[in-house]
Copies of this chain bind each other. A is one copy, B any other.
């Protein structure tokens, strides 16, 4: 069954916090030999928050996307936060973004969609059905992530991958004479890997006030080898399925925008799928892995750098905690 939805991205934006962290600074901090951080992670430069909150970063990225879309912020009629982290456990992120955008009188509905690093892809895929049907006219999707507060610097190989930042996109229904469309979305979750990537503490199972909790329970933990095994076993078939649903071959795709997981993970993925370097968007060297912001940020850069044009076929593709693989193919 065709999954086509007449949906168009009419604006994107990104925001990076002010504090810049170079790989060589982390080399020193971690007491490793010069060049180790960049070589291991592929990240030469990342940004970390100083005083910025996630909703402030979200508002910056959203404002750029709104401006790019050529609409007034009051024309947005749904705000969906698509982040893997929360600013506060309650309320949802999107309500805090509405407030930061100065839209607290607007009544715009606000809610969150979360599939960790794939949240933007899941949100785009899901909400496009509502845009196609006319339920909403201009939806703001915004990912805003502060990874830096939750990193365990004892687990160096994991901690050195991440950066903070936000990215946003505005979805609207494709005008009568337009060709923009979502061709297909697909997601698969393999919960044998549910605990391969986790923050164990901070939710209801191990509450922050739990006396038995230790500091590392509240920090990011990842078993890279197990993730690699489970995802490489499944990603080939996954991409074949997504392409079949899209009625495309990989040759039809003008640009793949992958989750910027790590330099090495992206290199392996690209080679496994046989994608030329020029068709594989890579911004990890100066952004790091910004969780769910990573894919829309790379998409924004692809647009800004003219790597895609209207009519280009784009595949967003990634893995996330869960373990999930997700992707969407659309004509920009």
Contact = CB atoms under 8 A, between A and B. Distances in A.
A326 B94 CA distance: 15
A200 B90 CA distance: 7
Given A109-B324, A115-B110, A129-B129, A198 B90 contact: yes
Interface residues of A, number: 79
A213 B202 CA distance: 13
Contacts of A79: 189
Nearest to A107: B188
A130 B3 CA distance: 10
B90 A220 contact: yes
A321 interface: yes
A245 B203 CA distance: 37
Contacts of A149: 204, 207, 209-210
Interface in A303-330: 320-324, 326
Interface in A113-160: 113-116, 118-119, 122, 126-127, 129-130, 133-135, 145-146, 149-150
A248 interface: no
A174 interface: no
Interface stretch (A39-47, A81-89, A270-278): A81-89
Given A112-B113, A192-B105, A208-B201, A92 B322 contact: yes
Given A129-B130, A205-B54, A88 B198 contact: yes
A207 B198 contact: no
A99 interface: yes
B114 A114 contact: yes
Given A112-B113, A114-B112, A192-B105, A95 B321 contact: yes
A250 interface: no
Contacts of A3: 133, 135
B90 A189 contact: no
Q: How many copies does the complex hold?
A: 2
A236 B167 CA distance: 36
A219 B79 CA distance: 26
A228 interface: no
Given A104-B191, A150-B207, A201 B88 contact: yes
A122 B130 CA distance: 12
A133 B184 CA distance: 13
A35 B68 CA distance: 59
Contacts of A134: 1
Contact of A88 (B103, B191, B199): B199
Contacts of A98: 189, 191, 194
A15 interface: no
Contacts of A129: 129-130, 133, 135
7 contacts: A53-B204, A89-B201, A95-B194, A95-B324, A96-B194, A112-B113, A149-B207
Given A88-B200, A89-B150, A90-B199, 8 more contacts: A88-B198, A95-B191, A95-B194, A99-B194, A129-B135, A145-B204, A150-B204, A202-B202
